[in-house]
Every structure is written in structure tokens, then in C-alpha cells.
Structure 1
Amino acid sequence: MSEPIERTTENFGVPWEGIYGYVQAVKHGDTIYVSGQLSHDGDQLVAPAPVDANGAVTDFSAMEEQMRRSYVNAAELLKRFGATLADVVEEVLYVLDIDAAFAVAGPVRKAAYGREDPQVASTLVGTTRLAFPEQLVEIKLIARV
């Protein structure tokens, strides 16, 4: 009989973890799965986009700041497992506006990964809504250690 594969998890302790019922990251064997990260500082959203009375975003200029903070949060989770963004093999960026994301994603991603040619498979997906109305981007990662 083979040994069971070790599974460990991490959370930030934000309210939506319990409300939705999930963990921020799971390490299963040598693979780390990071749930979609958004721009929060543990207490509130960072750089929330302005929304109208119906909850529709009226300005996408916070995309860059939200994207940067999402990578910071992802890096913090990876660090807890002894990993870094250099260990990421796949990422998916879910965004409300493809043009706004594409305009900033190159420089933001290169800065986050610390190189001009991030060695990560990447997918950019446009969607009509994310978890919070003021949220413009969510980044999901898979890393191998």
C-alpha cells in the first residue's frame, strides 16, 4: 500500500473564505493550487473600482493596482509553503475588461515574476462578473515544488 500524499492548506482569514467555504491554497504532494486571488489587504479590497447604482463598473483604471496586489497576495501564500512565483507553472487571469487588462498585464506580470519572459503558461479570460462588484481581476495559480 502506498503512503498517503500530504495535503496542507492556507487561508488569509478574510470573511469570504467562510461565507463561500474554501481555502486560499492547497499543497498536495509537490503541487500548490492557489485559489483566485484578488486585491485585498486582509481587511478590505485594495483599489476598488467605482461602480454605478446597478453595481456596474464605471472605470477600469484600477486594473493595474488590483493586478499588482493580487500577485502580492499569491506570492504570500506561496511563501507559506516555501515557494515563490518562480515555482508557478500555470496562471489564469480572469478580468472584467480584456483591453484594460492587456494594457497593463505585461509590465505587471514581468515585475511580479522578476523577469522579462515569465516562464509560466498563462491564460487571460474575460468575464462579466467576479466575486465583488468593485473587483476587476482575479488570478489563479498552480505551482510545483
Structure 2
Amino acid sequence: MHRINISSGTPWETIVGYSRAVKIGNTIEISGTVAVENDQLIGLNDPYVQTGVILKKIENVLQQAGASLRDVVRTRIFVTDISQWEAVGRAHGEFFGEIRPCTTMVEVARLIFPEYMVEIEATAIIADA
């Protein structure tokens, strides 16, 4: 099968050795995504805003790969404060309420920077036409 690596253009991809997303066949895997745009965190101290920004970024990557949110079959949500699950869940529901992919939300001790409250990964499978 043909492999397509999709880049966000950040220098970290080369340094760490990863891609924003990888598409093989009809499957797309999206790396952990945080609410950073133009090197700025969006939604400081607001997990709801961070989640919305992240999911919009994931939606944009899916479009680059020829897919949409409707193709998402799983999300993995990492939060630094599980007591904020309702805010994160509300934002997730605004994007996936009717799609309803499998999902997991887990609390982690920390993300790469302390201001990051949420990180999300996604898997999408494009249905054959």
C-alpha cells in the first residue's frame, strides 16, 4: 500500500522523527495534537477552548488527507486534570455528537509543556466508495 506522510511543517517533526499524520490505504492516523497555532497556545487555562482548537486542527489534517470528521473511528484524549472532563467532553461532542467515534479520555501527569491541558490523537478510515 502507498504511504503518505502529512507534515505540519514544524521543525519538531524532523528532530523527533514523526509526521502530523500518516495515510496508508484508506486509514489515517493523526499524531497527538495540541492547541498551538503559530507557536502560540490558544486557550490558556481553558480545556474547552483547547479541545475545540485541537479538533479543528484535526479536521484540517483530515481534509488534507482526503477525509472528514465523519471518517473518524477513534479519538484518544489525554488531559492533565480529569476533573475538567465535562468541558473537554462538551467540546468533543460539538464535533462528534452525531458521528460518535470510539474514544478514550485519560488523565496524564503532564504533557510536554505545563500550559497544555489537552492532547488528542485520532484514527480515521475512509469508507470505500
The question of a shared fold, defined as TM-score above 0.5 by the shorter chain, is answered with yes
Q: In the TM superposition, what whole-angstrom CA distance separates every residue of 1:88-141 from its partner, at most 9, and x where no partner exists?
A: 0011000001111x121332112112x3x4420000011001122210010000
Is 1:92–2:76 an aligned residue pair?
Answer: yes
What amino acid does structure 2 have at the position aligned with 1:27?
Answer: K
Structure 1 stretches of at least 4 aligned residues deviating more than 4 Å after TM superposition: none
Is 1:20–2:3 an aligned residue pair?
Answer: no
**Structure 1 length as normaliser, TM-score?**
0.80
**Structure 2 length as normaliser, TM-score?**
0.90
Task: Name 1:134's counterpart in structure 2.
Answer: 115
Tell me if the contact between 2:22 and 2:28 (Cα under 8 Å) persists in the aligned partners.
yes
Q: In the TM superposition, what whole-angstrom CA distance separates every residue of 1:13-69 from its partner, at most 9, and x where no partner exists?
A: 1233233221000001110000011101133221234xxxxxxxxxxxx11111110
What amino acid does structure 2 have at the position aligned with 1:84?
Answer: S
Task: Name 2:38's counterpart in structure 1.
Answer: 42
CA distance in 1, matches of 2:117, 2:47: 6
Structure 1 counterpart SS, 2:4: strand
Is 1:78–2:62 an aligned residue pair?
Answer: yes
User: If you compute each CA radius of gyration, which structure gives the higher value, 1 or 2?
Assistant: 1
Tell me if the contact between 2:76 and 2:121 (Cα under 8 Å) persists in the aligned partners.
yes
* Percent of pairs with identical residues: 33
CA distance in 2, matches of 1:118, 1:83: 14
From the two aligned structures, give the one with the greater strand fraction: 2
Q: 1:144: how far off?
A: 0.1
Gaps of 5+ in 1: 50-61
RMSD: 1.4
1:52-131 matches, within 5 Å, as 62-100=46-84, 102-113=85-96, 115=97, 117-131=98-112
What amino acid does structure 1 have at the position aligned with 2:52?
Answer: R
CA distance in 2, matches of 1:18, 1:46: 24
CA distance in 2, matches of 1:72, 1:85: 10
